[in-house]
Amino acid sequence: MFRRLLILLIPFLIATPSSAQVNLKDTTIGMAMFYATYSFQLPGGDLSRLYGGNSSIGGGFQYKLRSNWIIGAEGNYLFGGTVKNPDSLIKMISTSQGLIIDENGYMAGLVYYEKGFSIYGKFGKIFPVYPTLAPNRNCGITVMMGGGYIQDWINIHNPDGTTPQINGDYGKGYDRLNSGIAVNASLGYLFMSNSRLLNFYLGFEFVQSWTKSRRQFDFDRMAYDNTSYSSQFYGFKVSWFIPIYARKPKDFYYY
């Protein structure tokens, strides 16, 4: 096995490039870009009656063509700590003070979270502002659009796990799980350094979703939920990129 590996490596050991990378300042190039991203979002439309602001963390992959068009995909995890009017969710199983008595006879301490995720296919275009506001022609004002799937729900958490009224399948009657299609658009600035060390995106993002309940029955309403929801998310987005592009050796030395 070692000999086979050595034979495969010999051509790479023989030819050693004297130039390590493409000079981005000279031209536009095609490149792959992996990235991590964070957004802070405010809800609008139907979801604004359930939630306050939320955060979104995730990552994705993009490929930038030499023409500065971009195609890619992105996935995000949504979470927030502001659920509006949580007592109304458990009104059918709570005391007059809006509290649940646990299996030990004590008042259960409940914490309410917003949770969810989204998956998008995306495309866009970079409009270079070189040399005024960018170090090269591969970065500048960036417009992105996309479409995909979004899902969110209310997580009712009892740290002690002593509330069978909301555990397991019972919890599904209170979580308001809904999902559906979504489109998003963003406008921002993509910076890509000539040295490949500093690469980031800052921008504003808008999401429009059309969702429906995925639960058969809501316990607090004592009814089926057949409503179609139209909701929005508005927020600021920051991403950190790792670009990967072909090296371009100019000279070779043979030994």
Q: What is the mean pLDDT of the chain?
A: 88
- State pLDDT tens for residues 235-249: 999 999 999 986 554
* Pair of tokens at residue 113: 């979270």
Query: What is the value of pTM for the model shown?
Result: 0.84
Token pair listed for 124: 């866009």
Q: How confident is the model at residue 4 (pLDDT cuts 50, 70, 90)?
A: low
Question: Which residue has better confidence, 19 or 200?
Answer: 200
pLDDT tens by residue, 55-89? 999 999 999 999 999 999 999 999 999 999 988 89
**How far is CA 207 from each of CA 45, 184, 250, rounded to the nearest angstrom?**
11, 4, 46
Report how far apart, in Å, the C-alpha atoms of 162 and of each of 81, 83, 158 are. 22, 22, 7
Confidence band of 22 (pLDDT split at 50, 70, 90) = low
Split at pLDDT 50, 70, 90, the class of 18 is: very low
Specify the residue for token string 């299996």.
103
Task: Tell me the domain boundaries of the chain.
Answer: 31-253
Write the DSSP assignment of 175-206 as a string of letters: S--EEEEEEEEEEEEEEE-TTSS-EEEEEEEE
Instruction: Say if residue 10's pLDDT is above 80.
Output: no
With 80 as the cut, is the pLDDT of residue 16 above it? no
- CATH fold, domain 31-253, is Porin (2.40.160)
Position 98 scores a pLDDT of 80
What pLDDT score does 3 carry? 54
Residue whose C-alpha is closest to residue 33's, from 70, 58, 75: 70
Over residues 113-143, the pLDDT tens digits come to 999 999 999 999 999 999 989 999 999 999 9
Q: What is the pLDDT of residue 221?
A: 86
The dihedral over CA atoms of 93, 99, 100, 101, expressed in degrees to the nearest 10, equals -120
